[in-house]
Structures are given as C-alpha cells and as structure tokens.
Chains A and B, each alone.
Chain A
Amino acid sequence: MNFEFDLGFSVIAPIIVISALFVVRAKNLIHAVLWLGATLLGTAALYARLNAPFLAGVQVLTYVGGVVTLMIFGVMVTRRHEGIEAEASSEGSERGLIFAAAFFVLLSVVIWKTAPVIPNPAPIATSAQLARVLLDDYLIAFEALSLLLLAAIVGAVVLVRRKDPEAVTKLRQGSALPLVNEVES
C-alpha cells in the first residue's frame, strides 16, 4: 500500500474528525450544534474532493442550512431558564468509550482486510447524469421519498400541536404557557 500524500484529504479528514469529537464532548449545547455544522461543512468539502460537486452543494443546503438551523431552534425552544446556556453533560463515558473504540477497531480490521486498491477513479458525474439516474432508474423510490417527507411533516405537526383551546388563545395573546400539556396528545 502506497500513501500518496494527498493535501486535500489530509486537511479535510482531521477537520471532520476533530469537529465530530467536539460535537460529542462540548459542554454547551449550542456549541455542540455549531460544531456539527462544522463537521457537515467538512463533509461537503469531502464530497467535492470525491468528484461529487452536486452532492456537496445539496449537503450544504440541506444539512448546514436546514438541519443545523432546526437544531438551534430546538435547543432554544427547550431551554428552561433564561440566561443560562443549555448544557449537555455526559455520563458513563467509560462504557461508551470502550464500546465505541471496540466498534472502531473492529470496523477498521474489516475494512483493512476487504477494501481493495482501486487504480482508476471513475469520471466525474455531471448533474445531468445524476438527474437521469434519479428520475429514470429510481423513479419509484423518488416518489416514495416525497411521500415520506410529506408524512414526516404532517407527523411532526400533529405531534406538536396543542389540543387545549385555552392554550392556543394564550399563545396568541403571547402569555406564558404551562409546561405540561393538560390534554394528552
């Protein structure tokens, strides 16, 4: 196995890993979300390096733009006290460490033993090609996916909706709300 020194990869990979580590170790929840954003950006860079520019773009749009924003909103809405940053403490890290490490070691062994060396990378796939494959070969999966997204949206809304009409009125009036939902949803 010969290691060609690949500048791009050797910059991107550490960024991804270190960001990921910070995601899981950050004490402050907002920081953790931001570190996730960094990880996702790093992944987008990796995609670009892997000759998948469309993928990189989509990654930035949906993940960094959508998911990270959603997470921040989630954190903000579920904070209890004003002024105190939401914290994300961890517990039982020894167990987790052992198993995660075991997992990593095993997976690396598997990969090492099975992944072959490929001499020639494939050519860049253009968006046109991608579109053709997506909408031609995998049309049914595409349609099903859109149904899934619809279901997810509707489901999320239904889950979160408040049934108590008083509460809805109070919401409109902007007053504080009781924490516990009186009527089970």
Chain B
Amino acid sequence: MSPSNLAIIATLAPAVAALLLLIVAPLRHKGAPAAWVTLLGSLVSLGSAIMLLVGRLGGAADVRVTTPWIQEAGHSMAEIGVLIDGVSVPMLIIVCLVALCVQLFSVAYMHDEPPRAYGRYFTLHAMFLFSMNIVVVSPNLLQLFAGWELVGLTSYLLIGFYFAKPSAAQAAVKAFWMTKLADMGFLFGLLVLFVATGSFEWTSTPSTQVATWVTALLFVAVIGKSAQFPLHIWLPDAMEGPTPVSALLHAATMVAAGVFLVVRADPLFAQAPATREVMLWVGTTTAVFAAGLALVQKDIKKVLAFSTASQLGYMVAALGAGQAFAGFFHLGTHAFFKALLFLAAGSVIHAVHSNSLEDMGGLRKKMPLTTAAFVIGALSLAGVPGFAGFFSKDLVLSSLEGKGNWIPWTLLMGSAFLTAFYMGRVVIKAFWGNESEKSSHAHESGIAMTGPLMVLAIPSLASGFLGGWLASQVKAEYHVHLGLTPIVASSMAILGIVAAIVVFGRGGKAPFTGVLEKLDTFSLVDRTWAGGYRIGLLGIASVAGWVDRYLIDGLMNFTGWATLEGGASARKLQTGMVRDYALMVVVGVVVLVLIGVLR
C-alpha cells in the first residue's frame, strides 16, 4: 500500500470511528461499544503509522500527495493532502501510540462513569485523534491550521467533560478563549503569508520583514497552544478534565502541536532571526517560572501541568536558538514520559480518590507497579543520564551553548535543577513517607491501567537512544559527546534529587516556598487576563448586544409597528360612507390632473 494511502488511513480511521459514534447514537449511549469503536480506530491508525515507519526504515523517500482544495479561477489557492517525511512519521507514531495507551487506560479509569458519558468520552477521543493527525500529516500551513482549530475544539470539549461542575466548565471556556485569542495570530500570520507569497507553504521565501511578521504572528499562536508565558494559565486549570485527557492532550499531543508547528515551519523561521530571539527568551522565562510554581502545588496534576509548561519552554527555547531538531527530539521523549507520569498519577488518584498530595504517602508498598512507572517517568523528566529525557534535554542545552546564549543556558540549567527538585518532592510525598488516611486504603490498579503504564515506560527509557536515527530522518546532525553541557546537566539532575530527599524526606518545606505560594495564589497573570476578558471582551459583547437588541431588533420591531399602525390608519379611510368614497374619487381625479400638470 502506498505511503500516502497509509497516511490517509491513519488520519481518517479515527474520523470514521467518530462519525460512526456520532451518527449511531445507541452505540454511544450504551457506553462500552463506543470504547471498542474508538480503540479499533486508534489501532488502525497506529498500524498504518507503524507500516509507514517500516517503510521509512527500509529507506523510503519522502512523499507528498495533495489535491486542490480552494480553487480560484482555475488555479489552486490551497491544497489538502498528506506529507510523509522524517518529521511526520515519527510524530504520527508518537501521537497514535500515546493515544492508544491513554484510551486503553481510560477503559478502566472511566469505568464508573454513566454509560452515556462514557460513550461521549470515547467519541471525543476519536475526534481528537483525527484532528491531531490532520495536523501531523498536513503539507501546508492552511491544513495545519484547520487541524489546529479542531484540536482546540476537542480539547475544550474534553476539558469540560464534567460540564456539570462549574469549575470544569469555566476551565474549558478559559482554555478555549485563551487559545482562540492566540489563534488569531495564526490566522493573521496565514493571511500575511498568503498576501506576500501567494501560498501557504512553509518553504516559501518572502523578504525578511515579511518572514518576521509571519513567524511572529505564528509564534503568538504557539504561545497560546503550548502554554508559554503569559498565556500559560489555562493549562493548570485544564486539569479539571479527566486525567487520561490531561495525559494525552495536555502533556503529549495538543500542547506539543505548537512546537510541532515551529518545527514544520522551520524554513520560515530560519528567515526571521528576530522572532527566534523572542522565542528563546519566552521559552526560557516559561521554563524557569513554571518550574518554580510547580514546586508549591498541592495537587499532583497541577504539578505535572506546570511541569509540562516548563518543558515546553525548553523546546521553545531550543527552537529559538535555531535548533529545530533539539526541540523535536525533546518533544518526542517528553510525550512519552509525561504521558506516563500523568497516567501513573491517574492510577494513584483512582486508588486514593483524591488529587491532593496530602492524601497520598507511602504508596510504594501498596502500588509497586505504579510507583515504578512514576519513578521511571520522573527520572526521565529530571534528566538523569541513561533515561530518555536526559538525551533530549542535553541536546536542547547543548544547542544553547557557545552561541552567546549563556544566560538562557544558565537559566535553563537552573530550571533543570528545579525540575529534579520538584519531581523529587512529588515522588517522596506520594510514594514514600507515612501513609495518609486515604492512602492506607489504596491498592494497585488492575492490568487495564498498569498495562498501558508499562507500555509507555519502555519508550520513556529507551527513546533517548533513538536520537541518532531520528536525526537522520530530518537530516540534522546529532552526536552524543562528553562536554560541559552533559556534565553540568547531569549534576543538576542529581543535585536536585538529592536536595529533594534531604528537604522533603524529612517532611520539610523548600526555601522560598512562601514567596512562591503567594505568587501562585495571587496569580497576577490570571487576574490580568480575567480583567481583560471582563472589560475587553464582555465590554465589546455588551455593546454588540445593545446594538443587536435596540438597533437591529429595534428596526425590525419598528417595521412591524409601522406596518400595523399604517394599516390601522389606512383602515380609517374605509369609512363605509358613500360620500367619503365620492370624495376620494374626486381627490383621485385632482391628483391625476396635478400629475399631468406637473409633468
């Protein structure tokens, strides 16, 4: 089967599943059948992705198949299709594999939901996978944008899955609004690109100024989607969604779409060094800021959320330094170990019936498999040598070395320390130490949940070693070397873990906790956005509402009133009195004569 067909199957299989579930409502309402359909769709996608991979391993060439989409006077303005190259195939594998694991995990995790909600959940998962695959295989920016928006939609629906809960509904709306605001950047970037170059390809070569504008606008969208400062605050709130959703969307795939966009559009970004400079600093700031806030979170999912934002900051910084491959590599490894961490957290939450770290403790005895999985993920995230995260993080840091980017390098090293430190805190609080009241009732989760954990643990360990192969796919350079960066990075990781054991092992608090907690609860960024929303958006909306109600509806009502009143007045002419009619005949004659005279 040709690669393009495989890619199309990979993209459309979940769509078929979603469509089937949407149309045939009983499948959805019964609950369990929906899970089967979705899983089947995801399995087909993964299968196709693996076959594509096999093809590439056998040395297949890049394939690009498109068909005209938007036509204007015979020539095509935009196309839709698939692009199969060294970037899309690995990404496809990552997305489909993580999605399948998450969906398998969800079968058990969401088991207690009522059947209709259960069915809805899996339908949304199918929709999401379809949307994400569109993004991954798209050959141009327009199709990517289409998939991007669909991803945003399904994310909103999944975050707000427990829509009856006010905080969940609000979190969904917040995520939606913030990302949509950022997506305006994408839209305007597309418009500028099209006006300047007449196409939506990222291989076009506009002038530097145009490229700077386009990439800057695209980066605005990335800031929103990948939760960079200052648009990061929707991500912690998005933890209101079910934990598997957080694992898939808000760790591995959706938020990674922003980074993926920049990787794809690298030729364009290469022409805009100014944008890259901004990206470097935004990424670095986010990496440090989010890591600091992760340190004081009491909710295990929120720790992981801030951690995600921080790691995305690493990727963005790498991209800002011009090393697209470093960002891409970290994207891949991060997808695996972050999904693993979230799912393991989900297992813990399921066992303890609470998200709070205070309700956990000493779980390593009760839930050994989950503990092992979580620890593997944590070590990978911290960047301990040998684990996947180490290799990718090392590459990111190396890319900053020696190009005059010492400040970001230093800051990111500090963030690496913090990463290890806060992960250590979580591990110790949840799995070591004394049991809390809730955790004493915990027990290990069934194979349905631990299975996916074990599956994801493998790439979390091993994907670091695939760096060389991945680099060859995208024709980038990569070699592991012993130098300043790896040594410092490894030291930071180890130091962080040791410090965590020292500080938290005895049940203490980290330094600066007070400050950070205040920062977290006060949340200036949150307030600013909320205020902007209230004043700006709601203000405009109320004006628009007023116009609609009084001017537009008023016009309609007035027309109606005028018609009725006119009719009532005209009716008065019909007096039924013969003489009045005689008068009207005369009036008519007079008018006619008048017209004749005036003409």
Contacts and interface: CB of A to CB of B under 8 A. Distances in A.
A99 interface: yes
B597 interface: yes
Contact of A109 (B579, B590, B597): B597
Interface in A69-121: 91-92, 95-96, 99-100, 102-103, 106-107, 109-110
A120 B587 CA distance: 37
Contacts, number: 23
Nearest to A104: B590
B597 A99 contact: no
A103 B579 CA distance: 18
A139 B302 CA distance: 111
B542 to A, nearest CB: 53
B586 A103 contact: yes
B583 A99 contact: yes
A102 B590 contact: yes
Contacts of A95: 583
A99 B593 contact: no
> Interface residues of B toward A: which range?
10 to 19
B538 interface: no
A106 B587 contact: no
Contacts of A91: 579
B335 to A, nearest CB: 91
A99 B586 contact: yes
Contacts of B590: 99, 102-103, 106
A110 B597 contact: yes
B593 A106 contact: yes
A92 B584 CA distance: 14
Contacts of A102: 590
Contacts of A106: 590, 593-594, 597
Contacts of B587: 99
B447 interface: no
B589 interface: yes
A103 B589 CA distance: 8
A181 to B, nearest CB: 20
Contacts of A110: 593, 596-597
Contact of B593 (A92, A96, A100, A103): A103
Contacts of A107: 593
Contact of A96 (B583, B589, B596, B597): B583
A102 B586 CA distance: 10
Interface string B569-599: 0000000000100010011011001101100
A131 B326 CA distance: 120
Interface residues of A, number: 12
A135 B589 CA distance: 34
A65 to B, nearest CB: 28
Contacts of A99: 583, 586-587, 590
B597 A100 contact: no
A96 B583 CA distance: 7
Nearest to A110: B597
Contacts of B596: 110
A104 to B, nearest CB: 10
Contacts of B593: 103, 106-107, 110
Contacts of A96: 583
Candidate in A91, A92, A106 with the most chain B CB atoms within 10 angstroms: A106
Contacts of B597: 106, 109-110
A8 B589 CA distance: 32
B586 A100 contact: yes
Nearest to A113: B597
Contacts of B579: 91-92
Contacts of B586: 99-100, 103
B402 to A, nearest CB: 101
A30 to B, nearest CB: 22
Contacts of B589: 103
Nearest to A100: B586
A123 to B, nearest CB: 33
Contacts of A109: 597
A83 to B, nearest CB: 28
B579 to A, nearest CB: 8
A102 B594 CA distance: 9
Contacts of B594: 106
A163 B241 CA distance: 94
A109 B583 CA distance: 22
A92 B577 CA distance: 13
A107 B593 CA distance: 7
Nearest to A99: B586
A96 B593 CA distance: 17
Nearest to B589: A103
A183 B586 CA distance: 36
A95 B579 CA distance: 12
A109 B594 CA distance: 10
A106 B597 CA distance: 8
Candidate in B590, B593, B594, B596 with the most chain A CB atoms within 10 angstroms: B590
Contacts of B583: 95-96, 99
Interface string A15-27: 0000000000000
A146 B408 CA distance: 117
A96 B333 CA distance: 99
Nearest to A106: B593
A100 B585 CA distance: 12
A98 to B, nearest CB: 10
Contacts of A100: 586
Nearest to B596: A110
9 contacts: A91-B579, A95-B583, A99-B583, A99-B587, A102-B590, A106-B594, A107-B593, A109-B597, A110-B596
Given A96-B583, A102-B590, A106-B590, 11 more contacts: A91-B579, A95-B583, A99-B583, A99-B586, A99-B590, A100-B586, A103-B589, A103-B590, A103-B593, A109-B597, A110-B593
Closest 9 CB pairs of A and B: A106-B593, A103-B590, A102-B590, A99-B586, A106-B597, A99-B590, A109-B597, A106-B594, A110-B597
